[in-house]
A and B are shown apart, each in its own frame.
Chain A
C-alpha cells in the first residue's frame, strides 16, 4: 500500500500539474515532455515513457518525482540497475521520501542485491515501524542473508499483535526453525495447519527436519508440500538438500536445478548444488558458490567450500589464504583448521601442518568437554 498508493497519487498530481500546458511538438517544452511521459506511463508504454522522462530530465534534472517515475518505468522493464540509479538521485533530492525509499529497496531486492535491499528497508521501518509489508520483505532479506535472529526480533512484535497473520507466522516460523528454535517454530506451523493442509506448513516442517538432520522425515513433509504447491520458494531447494543427504545425488541435482529455475539467486540451492557438483564439475560448482556469495557476500560456509575447491583444483596457496582468513575469523571452526592443515601440507609447510592438527585435537577435546569448539557450518 505504501508504494502503490503514494506513487499513483504522485503520478496523478503531476498529471494535474502539467495539464493545460501548451504543447509544441517540434521543440517540446519540459512540461510537455513530462505530460507526455506520464500519459505514456499510464497507458503502459514504458519504453516510450522512459524516453520522454529522460528527455524531460535533461532539461529539469532536479525533479524528484520524474526521477522516481523513470525508476519505476525502468524497474518495470527489469532494468533494475538503471532504476536504482534514478531512485538514488530522487532520494538525494528528497531524502525523506519513503515511497521512493521503498521502491529503491524493491529494486535492490529484485536485482538480488539483498544486503542493500535490507539496508533500505531498515530505513523505511525506522520511519514506519509498524508497516507490515516492508517488515515481511525485510524478514525475507534477513532469512536470505542467514540473519535469522534479526528476522525473529523483527517479526515477534507483529506476531504478538496479529497472531492469525499466516504470512507473519510463516516467516517467523522459518526464522525460528533455521535458528534451531524448533519447538517454538513448530507451534507456528500448527497455527498455519489449523485451517487445513498447507504447502507452507509442510515446507516448514520439512525444513525443521532438515535442520535436525532427519532427512527421511524431511522428505515425507516436503513431498506433501510439493503435491500442493511445487512452485513454493525454497521448497525444491530443501527437497534437493534432503535427497543429497540421503545419497540420491541425481534426484538432488534435479530438485536443486528446479529451485534455481524459479530463483537463480537462491542461496541455499546454489550452495547445495555447488557441493554436489564439486567432485565432478568444479567449474560449475565454482559458479554456484559465486552465486551463493552474491547473496551472502561474507558467508563463511561458502568461502570454506570455495577453499576446498581450490585445494581440490591444486590451488593450495589460494586455499591457504582463504582458510587462514576463515580460521582467523572463527578460530573455533574445526573443519577450517583441518583443511588448512591439508593446504599447508600441499605447500610443504610441515611445522604449520602439525600446529593446525594440534589446534584441532585441542578443539575436539574442548568440544567433548562441552567447550566452545563447535562448527559454524
Chain B
C-alpha cells in the first residue's frame, strides 16, 4: 500500500519533470500552495494575465506634445504615442509589477527591449511618468513611448521580474517565464529535481536558505531589492532609498549581521502573501525587545510596533507610501534619516 502511494505521488512529479516550478510543488506543497498569488510570483505578467490592463481597456497620458494611449483588446495591449501627425504604435510584451504601487510595461522595438515611459499607478488610478524617467524629456514619439534598455539593463529587469531567462548575465528572451519562481532564489532546481528522481541524495542538496544569517539573507533578497552595497555605491540618499528595504534595514540601529531575528525572512515568508495585519509583526519585535530578555522595551506601546517604528514614507512621483525598513525611534519633525 505504501509503495503504491509513493508511486502515485511520484507519477505526477515525473510527468511534470520539465515543467519548471510545478515540479517543485509535488514535494514542496506547503511552500508552493500560495506562492503563485504572491507579488513576487506576479512580478511580471503577460497581457492576458494582467488585471490592470484587462480592467482598464483604455489608459491615457499626456506629456507635453506627446499623447500616450494603452489600449487593450483581449490578449493584446498596444502602446500608441502620437505627436501631431506622427504616430508610434507597438504591442506590450509584459507588465512589470503587480500594480499594488505601480506597473510598468515592456515592449520590443528595433532589436531592443524598451521600458514604457508611462506607468500605471494604483493610487492615481491611471498612467503617470515612470519613476526613473523624471528629469528627462523625450524628443521623438519612440522616446515618448519608452526608454531603450541596454542588454545589461534588460538582463537586470528580466533577471528580477522573470524566472530562468538570464544565464551568465545574458538575457535569453526565448526562455522567459514571467514572475519570480523557485529557482530565482533556490538556484538550480532542475539539477535538484533530476537528482531526486535518480535517488541521488547528495546531488539533490540545495543550499538551506532558512539557515542563512541576517547578512546573507539580505544579500540574497538584495539581488533584486538591492543590497546595502549596491545602494551605497551609488551614493544615493534621501527618500529614494526607501524602496530598497535591505539597505534601509541594514542601516537600522538594531541590525546585526549574524542575528537571524533581524533578517528579511524573520518577518516575511517569501512563499506567502504579505501579512497586512500590522499587529502580526509585533512578535518579531518582541523576539528581541522584551523585559525577560533584559533589552530595551517600548515605553509607549506593546502593540502595532511598526506603525511608529517603521513609518510610511511618501516617495515623490511614486503615488505610493513605502514602509521604511530603517527601524528606529521616530521623532516628530525629524528629517528622513540617511
A350 pairs with B258, CB closer than 8 A: yes
Given A247-B151, A280-B168, A365-B338; A334-B232 close (CB under 8 Å):
yes
Instruction: Indicate if B119 sits at the interface (CB-CB under 8 A).
Output: no
Instruction: Indicate if B233 sits at the interface (CB-CB under 8 A).
Output: yes
Instruction: List which A316-374 residues lie within 8 A (CB) of chain B.
Output: 334-335, 338-339, 341-342, 345, 348, 350, 353, 357, 360-361, 364-365, 367-368, 373
The distance from the CB of A262 to the nearest CB of chain B, in whole angstroms, is 26
CA distance A167 to B189 in the complex (A): 58
A249 pairs with B237, CB closer than 8 A: no
Given A279-B168, A357-B250; A246-B233 close (CB under 8 Å):
no
- Number of A positions contacting B (CB below 8 A): 27
Given A364-B235, A368-B237; A249-B338 close (CB under 8 Å):
no
Chain A residues within 8 Å of B209, by CB:
none
Instruction: Indicate if B228 sits at the interface (CB-CB under 8 A).
Output: yes
Given A246-B152, A247-B151; A361-B338 close (CB under 8 Å):
yes
**Chain B, Cβ-Cβ closest to A244:** B152
Given A247-B150, A361-B251; A345-B215 close (CB under 8 Å):
yes
Instruction: Indicate if A248 sits at the interface (CB-CB under 8 A).
Output: yes
Most buried by A among B168, B228, B256, B257: B257
Across the interface, A249 reaches (CB within 8 A) one of B170, B232, B236, namely B170
Instruction: List which B96-136 residues lie within 8 A (CB) of chain A.
Output: none
Given A246-B150, A247-B152, A334-B232; A345-B170 close (CB under 8 Å):
no
Chain B residues within 8 Å of A360, by CB:
232
**Chain A, Cβ-Cβ closest to B231:** A364
CA distance A365 to B155 in the complex (A): 31
Instruction: Indicate if B274 sits at the interface (CB-CB under 8 A).
Output: no
CA distance A361 to B257 in the complex (A): 17
Instruction: Give per-residue flags for B227-271: 1 if the beta carbon is below 8 A from chain A beta carbons, else 0.
Output: 011001101110000000000001100001110000000000000
Given A353-B257, A357-B228, A361-B251; A338-B233 close (CB under 8 Å):
yes
A248 pairs with B215, CB closer than 8 A: no
Instruction: Indicate if B200 sits at the interface (CB-CB under 8 A).
Output: no
Most buried by A among B151, B153, B154, B232: B232
The distance from the CB of B151 to the nearest CB of chain A, in whole angstroms, is 3
Instruction: List which A230-258 residues lie within 8 A (CB) of chain B.
Output: 245-250
The distance from the CB of B122 to the nearest CB of chain A, in whole angstroms, is 31
**Chain B, Cβ-Cβ closest to A369:** B237
Instruction: Indicate if B169 sits at the interface (CB-CB under 8 A).
Output: yes
CA distance A348 to B168 in the complex (A): 30
Chain B residues within 8 Å of A246, by CB:
150-152
**Chain A, Cβ-Cβ closest to B153:** A247
Interface positions of B (Cβ within 8 A of A): 150-155, 168-170, 215, 228-229, 232-233, 235-237, 250-251, 256-258, 338
Ranked nearest first, the 3 interchain pairs of A and B with the lowest CB-CB distance are A247-B152, A247-B151, A246-B150
A-B contact pairs, 29 of them (CB 8 A): A215-B150, A247-B152, A247-B153, A247-B154, A247-B169, A248-B151, A249-B168, A280-B168, A334-B235, A335-B233, A338-B233, A339-B229, A342-B229, A345-B215, A348-B258, A350-B256, A350-B257, A357-B232, A357-B251, A360-B232, A361-B251, A361-B338, A364-B236, A364-B237, A364-B338, A365-B237, A365-B338, A367-B235, A368-B235
